[in-house]
Chain A
Amino acid sequence: DTGVSQDPRHKITKRGQNVTFRCDPISEHNRLYWYRQTLGQGPEFLTYFQNEAQLEKSRLLSDRFSAERPKGSFSTLEIQRTEQGDSAMYLCASSSRARGGYTFGSGTRLTVV
Protein backbone atom coordinates (compact mmCIF):
# COMPACT_ATOMS: atom_id res chain seq x y z
CA ASP A 1 0.00 0.00 0.00
CA THR A 2 1.81 3.08 -1.27
CA GLY A 3 -0.98 5.45 -0.27
CA VAL A 4 -2.62 8.13 -2.40
CA SER A 5 -0.15 10.05 -4.55
CA GLN A 6 -0.71 13.54 -5.89
CA ASP A 7 1.37 15.40 -8.42
CA PRO A 8 2.64 18.06 -8.38
CA ARG A 9 2.95 18.98 -4.70
CA HIS A 10 3.13 22.66 -5.51
CA LYS A 11 2.09 24.68 -8.55
CA ILE A 12 2.47 28.39 -9.16
CA THR A 13 0.68 29.72 -12.20
CA LYS A 14 -0.26 33.05 -13.69
CA ARG A 15 -3.87 34.10 -13.73
CA GLY A 16 -5.59 32.93 -16.86
CA GLN A 17 -3.42 29.85 -17.39
CA ASN A 18 -4.71 26.29 -17.34
CA VAL A 19 -3.43 23.78 -14.79
CA THR A 20 -3.87 20.04 -14.40
CA PHE A 21 -3.33 17.94 -11.28
CA ARG A 22 -3.01 14.19 -11.08
CA CYS A 23 -4.10 11.77 -8.37
CA ASP A 24 -3.12 8.10 -8.12
CA PRO A 25 -5.38 6.38 -5.59
CA ILE A 26 -4.69 3.17 -3.71
CA SER A 27 -4.89 0.54 -6.43
CA GLU A 28 -7.79 -1.50 -5.08
CA HIS A 29 -9.91 1.53 -4.21
CA ASN A 30 -12.78 2.10 -6.61
CA ARG A 31 -14.00 5.36 -5.04
CA LEU A 32 -12.09 8.59 -5.60
CA TYR A 33 -12.83 12.05 -4.23
CA TRP A 34 -11.50 15.56 -4.82
CA TYR A 35 -11.63 18.21 -2.10
CA ARG A 36 -10.41 21.80 -1.95
CA GLN A 37 -9.02 23.45 1.15
CA THR A 38 -8.38 27.15 1.63
CA LEU A 39 -6.27 28.60 4.42
CA GLY A 40 -7.80 28.13 7.86
CA GLN A 41 -10.76 26.16 6.59
CA GLY A 42 -11.60 22.48 6.48
CA PRO A 43 -11.61 20.64 3.16
CA GLU A 44 -14.66 21.15 0.90
CA PHE A 45 -16.07 18.40 -1.30
CA LEU A 46 -15.68 18.95 -5.05
CA THR A 47 -16.46 15.71 -6.85
CA TYR A 48 -16.66 11.91 -6.55
CA PHE A 49 -15.92 9.00 -8.89
CA GLN A 50 -16.90 5.39 -8.56
CA ASN A 51 -14.63 3.55 -10.96
CA GLU A 52 -14.60 5.73 -14.11
CA ALA A 53 -18.02 7.28 -13.54
CA GLN A 54 -18.24 10.77 -12.09
CA LEU A 55 -21.32 10.41 -9.92
CA GLU A 56 -21.47 13.67 -8.06
CA LYS A 57 -20.21 17.24 -8.47
CA SER A 58 -20.41 20.06 -5.97
CA ARG A 59 -21.76 23.47 -6.91
CA LEU A 60 -18.23 24.66 -6.07
CA LEU A 61 -17.07 22.97 -9.27
CA SER A 62 -17.63 25.75 -11.79
CA ASP A 63 -17.52 25.30 -15.56
CA ARG A 64 -13.80 26.07 -15.49
CA PHE A 65 -13.16 22.88 -13.53
CA SER A 66 -13.22 19.42 -15.03
CA ALA A 67 -12.25 16.08 -13.56
CA GLU A 68 -11.72 12.74 -15.22
CA ARG A 69 -10.90 9.20 -14.25
CA PRO A 70 -10.65 7.56 -17.67
CA LYS A 71 -9.81 3.98 -16.77
CA GLY A 72 -11.05 3.92 -13.23
CA SER A 73 -7.53 4.25 -11.90
CA PHE A 74 -5.77 7.64 -11.75
CA SER A 75 -7.72 10.89 -11.94
CA THR A 76 -6.98 14.37 -13.22
CA LEU A 77 -8.43 17.70 -12.16
CA GLU A 78 -8.08 20.54 -14.65
CA ILE A 79 -8.73 24.20 -13.97
CA GLN A 80 -9.06 26.43 -17.01
CA ARG A 81 -8.44 30.19 -16.99
CA THR A 82 -7.27 30.18 -13.40
CA GLU A 83 -8.30 32.99 -11.07
CA GLN A 84 -6.68 34.16 -7.84
CA GLY A 85 -9.63 32.70 -5.94
CA ASP A 86 -8.59 29.24 -7.14
CA SER A 87 -5.52 29.39 -4.92
CA ALA A 88 -5.95 26.51 -2.47
CA MET A 89 -4.82 23.02 -1.55
CA TYR A 90 -6.45 20.41 -3.78
CA LEU A 91 -6.81 17.10 -1.99
CA CYS A 92 -7.54 13.70 -3.46
CA ALA A 93 -8.84 10.79 -1.41
CA SER A 94 -9.83 7.22 -2.14
CA SER A 95 -11.77 4.46 -0.44
CA SER A 96 -12.82 0.91 -1.17
CA ARG A 97 -16.36 1.04 0.12
CA ALA A 98 -19.07 3.45 1.12
CA ARG A 99 -18.44 2.98 4.82
CA GLY A 100 -15.09 3.32 6.48
CA GLY A 101 -12.49 6.03 6.30
CA TYR A 102 -10.91 7.69 3.31
CA THR A 103 -7.19 7.77 2.61
CA PHE A 104 -6.14 11.26 1.61
CA GLY A 105 -3.11 12.27 -0.42
CA SER A 106 -0.81 15.07 0.63
CA GLY A 107 -2.46 17.47 -1.78
CA THR A 108 -1.42 19.88 -4.51
CA ARG A 109 -0.99 23.45 -3.36
CA LEU A 110 -1.97 25.87 -6.13
CA THR A 111 -0.94 29.51 -6.05
CA VAL A 112 -2.36 31.79 -8.75
CA VAL A 113 -0.42 35.02 -9.16
Chain B
Amino acid sequence: DAKTTQPPSMDCAEGRAANLPCNHSTISGNEYVYWYRQIHSQGPQYIIHGLKNNETNEMASLIITEDRKSSTLILPHATLRDTAVYYCIVRVGYTSGTYKYIFGTGTRLKVLA
Protein backbone atom coordinates (compact mmCIF):
# COMPACT_ATOMS: atom_id res chain seq x y z
CA ASP B 1 0.00 0.00 0.00
CA ALA B 2 1.08 3.55 -0.67
CA LYS B 3 2.46 5.33 2.34
CA THR B 4 1.19 8.72 1.21
CA THR B 5 -2.16 10.51 1.04
CA GLN B 6 -2.91 13.21 -1.50
CA PRO B 7 -6.08 15.09 -2.49
CA PRO B 8 -7.49 13.58 -5.67
CA SER B 9 -7.69 16.84 -7.60
CA MET B 10 -6.83 20.55 -7.49
CA ASP B 11 -7.23 23.55 -9.75
CA CYS B 12 -4.79 26.43 -10.06
CA ALA B 13 -4.93 29.65 -12.07
CA GLU B 14 -2.23 30.10 -14.67
CA GLY B 15 0.64 32.20 -13.35
CA ARG B 16 -0.18 31.53 -9.73
CA ALA B 17 1.68 29.21 -7.40
CA ALA B 18 0.39 25.66 -7.19
CA ASN B 19 0.78 24.12 -3.74
CA LEU B 20 0.27 20.37 -3.69
CA PRO B 21 0.06 18.77 -0.23
CA CYS B 22 1.02 15.26 0.76
CA ASN B 23 0.66 13.40 4.05
CA HIS B 24 3.16 10.69 4.95
CA SER B 25 2.60 10.26 8.67
CA THR B 26 4.24 6.80 8.85
CA ILE B 27 7.48 7.84 7.17
CA SER B 28 10.64 6.41 8.70
CA GLY B 29 13.69 8.44 9.58
CA ASN B 30 15.75 7.43 6.56
CA GLU B 31 12.97 7.42 3.94
CA TYR B 32 13.02 10.09 1.28
CA VAL B 33 10.01 11.84 -0.21
CA TYR B 34 9.92 11.91 -4.00
CA TRP B 35 7.64 13.79 -6.36
CA TYR B 36 6.88 12.76 -9.92
CA ARG B 37 4.32 13.99 -12.39
CA GLN B 38 2.63 12.26 -15.28
CA ILE B 39 1.25 14.10 -18.24
CA HIS B 40 -1.43 12.25 -20.16
CA SER B 41 -0.12 9.25 -22.12
CA GLN B 42 3.47 9.74 -20.99
CA GLY B 43 5.62 8.05 -18.37
CA PRO B 44 6.12 9.70 -14.97
CA GLN B 45 8.69 12.48 -14.87
CA TYR B 46 10.94 13.05 -11.86
CA ILE B 47 10.50 16.47 -10.23
CA ILE B 48 12.32 16.62 -6.90
CA HIS B 49 13.12 14.69 -3.75
CA GLY B 50 14.14 15.43 -0.17
CA LEU B 51 14.80 13.93 3.23
CA LYS B 52 14.21 16.66 5.80
CA ASN B 53 15.52 19.94 4.43
CA ASN B 54 13.58 22.06 1.99
CA GLU B 55 14.74 21.58 -1.58
CA THR B 56 14.50 23.69 -4.71
CA ASN B 57 15.37 23.04 -8.31
CA GLU B 58 14.47 24.56 -11.65
CA MET B 59 11.10 22.87 -11.67
CA ALA B 60 9.76 23.19 -8.15
CA SER B 61 10.31 23.58 -4.42
CA LEU B 62 9.72 20.93 -1.80
CA ILE B 63 8.80 21.94 1.72
CA ILE B 64 8.94 19.17 4.34
CA THR B 65 7.53 19.78 7.81
CA GLU B 66 9.86 19.50 10.77
CA ASP B 67 8.21 16.28 11.97
CA ARG B 68 8.43 14.96 8.38
CA LYS B 69 4.83 13.81 8.45
CA SER B 70 3.80 15.96 5.52
CA SER B 71 5.23 17.91 2.63
CA THR B 72 4.17 20.41 -0.02
CA LEU B 73 5.30 20.62 -3.61
CA ILE B 74 5.28 24.18 -4.91
CA LEU B 75 5.20 25.09 -8.58
CA PRO B 76 5.92 28.81 -8.31
CA HIS B 77 4.30 30.03 -11.53
CA ALA B 78 2.01 27.35 -12.92
CA THR B 79 1.53 27.14 -16.68
CA LEU B 80 -0.97 25.18 -18.73
CA ARG B 81 1.78 22.64 -19.42
CA ASP B 82 1.89 21.82 -15.70
CA THR B 83 -1.52 20.16 -15.96
CA ALA B 84 -0.77 16.58 -14.93
CA VAL B 85 -1.15 13.97 -12.20
CA TYR B 86 1.36 14.60 -9.42
CA TYR B 87 2.57 11.69 -7.32
CA CYS B 88 4.09 12.01 -3.87
CA ILE B 89 6.05 8.87 -3.06
CA VAL B 90 7.85 7.64 0.00
CA ARG B 91 10.49 5.32 -1.27
CA VAL B 92 10.11 1.82 0.14
CA GLY B 93 13.02 0.24 1.94
CA TYR B 94 16.24 -0.98 0.42
CA THR B 95 16.10 -4.52 -0.93
CA SER B 96 18.10 -6.29 -3.63
CA GLY B 97 20.37 -3.31 -4.12
CA THR B 98 17.76 -0.68 -4.81
CA TYR B 99 14.74 1.16 -3.54
CA LYS B 100 11.25 0.77 -4.98
CA TYR B 101 8.58 3.34 -5.43
CA ILE B 102 5.07 2.59 -4.28
CA PHE B 103 2.80 4.98 -6.14
CA GLY B 104 -0.59 6.09 -4.86
CA THR B 105 -3.29 7.59 -7.06
CA GLY B 106 -1.79 11.09 -6.99
CA THR B 107 -3.32 14.57 -7.34
CA ARG B 108 -4.74 15.59 -10.67
CA LEU B 109 -3.71 19.24 -11.08
CA LYS B 110 -5.56 21.31 -13.63
CA VAL B 111 -4.08 24.69 -14.49
CA LEU B 112 -6.77 27.06 -15.69
CA ALA B 113 -6.22 29.84 -18.25
Contact = CB atoms under 8 A, between A and B. Distances in A.
A102 B103 CA distance: 13
Nearest to A105: B43
Contacts of A55: 96-98
Find the residue from B44, B104, B105 having the highest chain A CB count within 10 A.
B44
Interface residues of B, number: 25
Contacts of A100: 49
A85 interface: no
A48 B104 contact: no
Interface of A: 4, 31, 33, 35, 40-45, 48, 50, 55-56, 91, 93, 95, 98-107, 109
Given A91-B43, A103-B46, A106-B42, A98 B99 contact: yes
Contacts of B104: 42
Secondary structure dominating the interface of B: loop
B99 A99 contact: yes
Nearest to A102: B46
A100 B49 CA distance: 8
B45 A104 contact: yes
B103 A43 contact: yes
Contacts of B43: 4, 91, 93, 104-107
A45 B99 contact: no
B45 A56 contact: no
The 8 closest A-B pairs by CB, nearest first: A42-B103, A104-B43, A101-B46, A55-B96, A56-B96, A104-B44, A98-B98, A43-B103
Contacts of A48: 96, 98, 100
Interface in B29-50: 32, 34, 36, 41-46, 49
A101 B49 contact: yes
B42 A42 contact: no
